[in-house]
Amino acid sequence: MLERFERFSFAIMEISKYWHKLSADEMERHGLRSTHSVYLITMAKHPDGLTAPQLCELCSRDKSDVSRMMRMMEKQGLVTKESAHQRRYNGVFRLTQAGIEAADYLKQRIALAVSLAGKDLSDENRTIFYEALTSIAENLRQLSKEGLPEE
């Protein structure tokens, strides 16, 4: 069991490490950070816009990170905030046309990265792999809420 845990842990850490490096390299070309990719992709899925609390939930980020990233993306002309209030945490954030174009570009680059990363997997193995990852993530999410059961 310990060997399986080590293989799983190291594989996940390595995937995360290289994924973040690729993301950082791609986002740097646009004067952004790798974290911005999460926001761009998430916001592209919600063309009617998202509030800061929604972004916190969907992107698994805290309030200060959302505020800081939205401010940076506004300065880059990628996001606009619509609100009657001046406070950063209120209102709805939407991608501008430049933001939509950046998200579309990013989606293409992500598709290429995923395709190349999984090139050695058959369609059947790829399906099983993604189903397994989804199941593991859901189970870990539940365990993190409830805690590990006592033996």
Alpha carbon of residue 135 to chain centroid: 18
Entry field: residues in the chain: 151
pLDDT confidence of residue 86: 57
pLDDT in tens, 81-120: 987 665 555 789 999 999 999 999 999 998 999 899 999 9
Q: Which two tokens stand for residue 52?
A: 């800061």
pLDDT in tens, 19-57: 888 888 888 887 888 888 999 999 999 999 999 999 999
113-101-59 Cα angle (round to 5): 65
Q: In 3D, which of 27, 29, 48, 149 has the Cα closest to residue 93? A: 48
Phi-psi map region of 32: left, alpha, beta (phi>0 left; psi -120 to 50 alpha): beta
pLDDT of 2 over the 90 cut:
no
